[in-house]
A and B are shown apart, each in its own frame.
Chain A
Amino acid sequence: MPELTYREAVRDALAQALRADENVFVMGEDIAEMGGSMAVTQGLLEEFGPTRIRNTPISEMAIVGSGIGAAIQGMRPIVEIMYEDFLTLSMEQLVNQAAKHRTMSGGQVKVPLTIRTQGGAGWSPGAQHAQQLEAWFVHVPGLKVVFASTPQDVRGLLWSAIYDDNPVIFFEHRTLYPIKGEVPSELEPIPLGEARVHREGTDVTVVATGRLVHESLRAAEEAERDGISVEVVDPRTLLPLDEDTIVGSVRKTTRCVTAHEAVARGGFGSELAAVIQHGAFDWLDAPIERIGAKFAPLPFAPAMEQWVVPHAAEVLEAIRRTVARS
């Protein structure tokens, strides 16, 4: 199997979708000549030209809104919001328009729009360039939400997002762009709504997203040395959620830790905990542990930033807390 970086895997999915369907086009800030602020769209302008690879003004409301309008007319736009912090500037169009057109129209309208964005701490940008806001969108009926953590997943899920007939918010994590991983030689679409079990185990389930998938796999290896067998599950799609796989895993292991980089309070882990306690209440042997960022805007100084967001050590401590309960 060939190996791609996460960044190359995103680019490959975009390029293949652009080749496959002339209704697909990409727009966003600095995505053309510059190739995007994360260098994801490099080379696309040369292959597909400026009509389909469109630089936009700094106008997040108009970027998302015009994507909605083009999508309703049968295009499959992919818009890039440079940092997910800037989704806040397009919130009206995402929440009131994209998510609601189909229901408000009594099923007349479809919005096949993909909104790619990225975020994540670990490089000290301060409070407005690294938030993890995925939980906000899981609360909105009509949206789909994806958060991919590996090159294989990001390629297969992005393809499915582009060809989904609903608005999909597609989260990428900044610190994952350089990681390498094997991918199938032919792009294999991954259906939205299917979790991935990264590692099987019997004592505790860690349900993790984004960067924390990798931190949790490291924590699981550490725990293994202590004789604790950890299962690591990545939902990959947060909305719709593969509840069967997640609940099934916890019924097997009887313990659960949720782990994401976003602030723990009101984070996606809270929704996971609710789903799991309801689906696996009679199986649980310990309270569900939630791992997430501390409740503070991301501070700039590296020492503070590192302390605020979780890493493998916090996941490992939570694993140990759950197994310590008899």
Chain B
Amino acid sequence: MATVEERAEPGRKKVSEEVLRDFFREMLLIRRFEEKVEERFRAGELPGFLHVAIGQEAVATGVCSALALEDVFASTHRAHGHSIAKGTPAKKIMAELYGKTEGCSGGYGGSMHLYDLSVGNLGANAVVAGGLPGIVGAALAFQMRGEKRVAVAFFGDGATNTGTFHESLNLAQLWRVPAIFVLENNGWAESTPAVQQLPLPVDQMGKRAAAFGMKLIEADGQDVEAVYLAALAAREHALAGKGPVLLHLRTFRLTGHFVGDPQVYRDRDELKQERETKDPLRLLGARLDLSDGDFASVDADVTAEVEAAVEFAKAGTDPKPEDALKYVYA
């Protein structure tokens, strides 16, 4: 895939078909990875608590494609897609889900605590909004040292109801640090719908930015090109010293909150309709007018990568129990 420097031309309004095809491949890789995670969990191979990002692939790919290697991010409990999109090999993530030392967190983190400092992943966080203040601090460090880097926090609409969210955006804007707050708005706080947990209509959550005087950029979170261009604009704004950005992306979670969630709270017809009309892969596939042969070729390629990731993970090394004490202190 082209680097952000190769893709990023300030002010550009369109993305080339070649880049969109790269995006498609990565989004399909995330989709097949997540489907495999669901399958292996149901087969009893994966311990712990898993949250997949099926339906939200365009957010991960669009945002992370607009970032440079040295930019950093903090993710959420739904972190597999972000991690793949920022450049951690799928096999290292899968190995982490299997609890192997070859995993991206050495088997210490698991699905909800994926880290990879080599690509700027400062950690997925299992406390809603838990990663936001740290991103303010990372951006502060960049600002103090005069480094041209941005720090990015992913979080959902549910997180905007926490005190941590408000403290973090307030401080970031006060100090004009180069941070991007990516509001991945899927309209669900676990099982609680927007209407029961958001004080504004779900599509208007970007208004939160006004409370801080913060720059707001919004895009359709199912349209990867729109997400990418919005994220590029957010990065330009932050790097220009104009302060942080709230990047509001309306997206759709096309599965349960966690793997195994029976979604008793969800209207079946609505979900079916969302799967038909809001699937970012279908939308991009139609846009690219992919032939069946093209699709099958990409699919075979990413499916093989996912299968190889599972093989790698299963062949991985189990940590020694007593290694639990190895990293308590530096």
Binding site for B on A (CB under 8 A): 25, 51, 56-57, 59, 61-75, 77, 92-93, 96-97, 101-112, 141-142, 144, 165-166
| Across-interface contacts of B109 in A (CB, < 8 A) | 104-106
Measured CB to CB, the closest approach of chain B to A237, in angstroms, equals 13
Q: Does residue B188 face the partner (Cβ distance < 8 Å to A)?
A: no
Q: What separation, in Å, do the CA atoms of A96 and B74 have in the docked complex?
A: 14
The list of the 5 closest CB pairs from A to B, nearest first, reads A65-B133, A69-B137, A106-B106, A69-B134, A66-B137
- Establish whether residues B133 and A62, one from each chain, have CB atoms under 8 Å apart when the complex forms: yes
Q: Does residue B326 face the partner (Cβ distance < 8 Å to A)?
A: yes
- Establish whether residues A105 and B115, one from each chain, have CB atoms under 8 Å apart when the complex forms: yes
The number of A-B residue pairs with CB atoms under 8 Å apart is 140
Of the candidates B108, B115, B140, the one whose C-beta lies within 8 Å of that of A69 is: B140
Q: Which of B103-150 contact A (CB under 8 A)?
A: 103-109, 113, 115-117, 122-123, 125, 127, 130, 132-142, 144
Q: What separation, in Å, do the CA atoms of A108 and B133 have in the docked complex?
A: 19
Name which of A57, A66, A112 has the most chain B CB atoms within 10 A of its CB: A66
Question: Which of under 10, 10 to 19, 20 to 34, or 35 or more describes the interface residues of B?
Answer: 35 or more
| Across-interface contacts of B136 in A (CB, < 8 A) | 62, 65-66, 69
- Establish whether residues B106 and A102, one from each chain, have CB atoms under 8 Å apart when the complex forms: no
Q: Does residue B163 face the partner (Cβ distance < 8 Å to A)?
A: yes
| Across-interface contacts of B122 in A (CB, < 8 A) | 69, 72, 109
Contacts A97-B130, A101-B123 given; does A107 touch B137 at CB 8 Å: no
Q: Does residue B200 face the partner (Cβ distance < 8 Å to A)?
A: no
Q: Does residue B164 face the partner (Cβ distance < 8 Å to A)?
A: yes
| Across-interface contacts of A56 in B (CB, < 8 A) | 171
- Establish whether residues A104 and B123, one from each chain, have CB atoms under 8 Å apart when the complex forms: yes
Q: Does residue B168 face the partner (Cβ distance < 8 Å to A)?
A: yes
1/0 per position for B228-245, CB-CB distance to A under 8 A?
Answer: 000000000000000000
Of the candidates A63, A74, A109, A165, the one whose C-beta lies within 8 Å of that of B141 is: A74
Q: What separation, in Å, do the CA atoms of A144 and B329 have in the docked complex?
A: 9
Contacts A51-B144, A70-B141 given; does A105 touch B170 at CB 8 Å: no
Measured CB to CB, the closest approach of chain A to B126, in angstroms, equals 8
Q: What separation, in Å, do the CA atoms of A62 and B171 have in the docked complex?
A: 7
- Establish whether residues B171 and A104, one from each chain, have CB atoms under 8 Å apart when the complex forms: no
Q: List 23 A-B contacts (CB under 8 A).
A: A56-B171, A59-B170, A61-B167, A62-B133, A62-B164, A65-B164, A65-B167, A69-B122, A69-B140, A73-B72, A73-B137, A73-B138, A75-B144, A77-B137, A105-B105, A105-B109, A106-B105, A106-B115, A106-B327, A107-B108, A108-B116, A109-B123, A142-B328
Contacts A66-B137, A69-B151, A77-B137 given; does A105 touch B123 at CB 8 Å: yes
Measured CB to CB, the closest approach of chain B to A162, in angstroms, equals 14
Q: What separation, in Å, do the CA atoms of A57 and B175 have in the docked complex?
A: 11
Contacts A72-B138, A77-B137 given; does A104 touch B115 at CB 8 Å: yes
Measured CB to CB, the closest approach of chain A to B263, in angstroms, equals 28
Name which of B106, B139, B174, B327 has the most chain A CB atoms within 10 A of its CB: B327
